[in-house]
Amino acid sequence: MTIDIIYGEHVATGVDAESKDGELWLSAEDLKRISGWEFKPQGFCKGDVCVPVPDARKSEFVAGGRYNLAALANLLGQPVVTDAEHDAWCFGEAATERKRVLTSLDAPDFSLPDLDGKMHSLSEHRGKKVLLVSWASW
């Protein structure tokens, strides 16, 4: 089936996935592309970080050449919310990761459009003091 996956700041639409009972099985390529994680002998790895998978539970995570992103997310403490009617899955950031990043006091980078659709990032302004202010039309 095809699924739309919201992961971090990105949306991947029409992903070829097998989904049942809270499981979401992706190809290695899609796993990497969508989540940044890949499966290695040490476990699931992203950048410098590897998270081991207990041998006894390996089949929950790896089977038939596919990888269960939902199981990985649960292992990492990420919230997962799904809408079965519209085949949409949303993977949020884990509370532990939000805490780790914020308490480092490094201002998290982001990239958002202006009215003309031109993208601007926080990191473009490194070297200046930045006053980041939220507002809303409502």
Tokens coding 29:
């390529």
Between 56 and 115, whose beta carbon lies closer to other proteins?
115
**Cβ neighbours for 98, distance < 8 A, ≥ 6 positions apart:** none
Q: How far is the CB of 43 from other proteins (least distance, A)?
A: 23
Between 12 and 28, whose beta carbon lies closer to other proteins?
12
Q: How far is the CB of 113 from other proteins (least distance, A)?
A: 6
Between 1 and 56, whose beta carbon lies closer to other proteins?
1
Long-range CB pairs of 85-92 (<8 Å, 24+ gap) are 86/4, 87/1, 87/2, 87/3, 87/4, 87/19, 88/3, 88/4, 88/5, 88/6, 89/3, 89/4, 89/5, 89/6, 89/19, 89/24, 90/5, 90/6, 91/5, 91/6, 91/7, 91/8, 91/35
Q: How far is the CB of 130 from other proteins (least distance, A)?
A: 4
* Contacting residues toward other proteins, per CB under 8 A: 4, 6, 9, 11, 77-83, 85-86, 88, 90-95, 98-99, 101-103, 105-108, 110, 112-115, 120, 122-123, 125-138
Between 57 and 99, whose beta carbon lies closer to other proteins?
99
Q: How far is the CB of 105 from other proteins (least distance, A)?
A: 5
